[in-house]
């Protein structure tokens, strides 16, 4: 399944997503994703952070409230248009761009005069067709010892198919009622971690987070990948 097909679906789902996430994101993101992502990211006003696959920019807005300067991107033009409107109150604290995470060139075009201190991605790694170019580009854009915190669907527990070892894609929904099923891209944990290691990161933070009453099966894994070379 190509990035083009996947992008078409996200463009069709953009308005629904923006309404569902609103200004403060939804309960799932607030309770399951945000706390540990924020703990590992430890944002502060001196930070310059890249928000990867930012959706309607709800986490960029949260970072801007902490005084952080943010560059945020998504490949869905509709999502970026809605993000600019939704987060307009933060003015120049957040710059939004259309860029494709499957293209190293597209991400490297976001390079500014100063390197990013950190990068973050909430619940998008499993939606991205190919992730090696993203990790390579983020590594290049980060300052030394900078880190990339990403939250993604837990590949060991959350998949709609029987396959674990073999990378594959499948259709599913993120939020009940969304207009179109999106494409998910399953990768094993070793595939994700080995991309981090090959591109010059070490993993120095890791959480597995559960949702609501099910306290044994984590839905989300949150990883901090620190740039060492």
Ligand X SMILES: C[S@@+](CC[C@H](N)C(=O)[O-])C[C@H]1O[C@@H](n2cnc3c(N)ncnc32)[C@H](O)[C@@H]1O
Q: Buried (b) or exposed (e) across 131-163, using 16+ Cβ within 10 A?
A: bebbbbbbbebbeeebbbbbbbbbbeebbeeee
Q: Are 202 and 226 in contact (CB under 8 A)?
A: yes
Q: CB of 153: closest distance to ligand X in angstroms?
A: 9
| 210 touching ligand X, by CB under 6 A | no
| 41 touching ligand X, by CB under 6 A | no
One residue of 37, 53, 119, 137 binding ligand X per CB under 6 A: 53
Q: Which stretch binds ligand X (CB under 6 A): 49-57, 159-167, 197-205, 212-220?
A: 49-57
Sign of CA dihedral 94, 95, 99, 105: negative
| 122 touching ligand X, by CB under 6 A | yes
Footprint on residues 180-209 left by ligand X (CB under 6 A):
none
| 119 touching ligand X, by CB under 6 A | no
One residue of 18, 21, 68, 187 binding ligand X per CB under 6 A: 21
| 141 touching ligand X, by CB under 6 A | no
Please give, one letter per residue, the 3-state secondary structure of 81-129: HHHHHHCHHHHHHEEEEECCCCCHHHHHCCCCCCCEEEEEEECCHHHCC
Torsion, CA 188, CA 141, CA 120, CA 102, rounded to 10: -50
| 124 touching ligand X, by CB under 6 A | yes
Q: CB of 211: closest distance to ligand X in angstroms?
A: 15
Instruction: Tell me the C-alpha distance between 126 and 223, whole Å.
Output: 13
Q: Which is nearer to ligand X, 117 or 122 (CB)?
A: 122
**Residues making contact with ligand X (CB under 6 A):** 3, 6, 10, 21, 25, 29, 53-55, 58-59, 74-76, 79, 100-102, 122-124, 127-128, 174
């Amino acid at each position: 399944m190509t990035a083009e097909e996947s992008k078409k679906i996200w463009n069709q789902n953009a308005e629904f997503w923006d309404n569902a996430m609103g200004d403060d994101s939804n309960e799932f993101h607030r309770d399951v994703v945000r706390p540990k992502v924020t703990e590992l990211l430890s944002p502060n006003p001196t930070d310059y952070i890249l928000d990867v696959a930012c959706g309607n920019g709800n986490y960029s807005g949260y970072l801007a409230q902490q005084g952080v300067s943010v560059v945020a991107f998504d490949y869905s033009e509709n999502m970026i248009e809605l993000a600019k409107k939704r987060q307009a109150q933060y003015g120049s604290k957040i710059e939004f761009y259309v860029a494709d995470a499957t293209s190293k060139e597209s991400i490297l075009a976001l390079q500014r005069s100063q390197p990013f201190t950190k990068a973050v991605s909430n619940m998008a790694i499993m939606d991205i067709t190919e992730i090696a170019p993203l990790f390579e580009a983020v590594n290049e854009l980060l300052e030394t010892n900078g880190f990339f915190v990403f939250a993604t669907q837990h590949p060991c527990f959350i998949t709609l198919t029987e396959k674990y070892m073999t990378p594959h894609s499948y259709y599913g929904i993120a939020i009940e009622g969304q207009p179109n099923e999106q494409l998910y891209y399953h990768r094993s944990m070793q595939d994700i971690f080995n991309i981090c290691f090959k591109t010059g990161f070490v993993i120095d933070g890791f959480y597995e987070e559960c949702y609501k009453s099910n306290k044994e099966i984590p839905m989300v894994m949150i990883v901090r990948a620190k740039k060492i070379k």
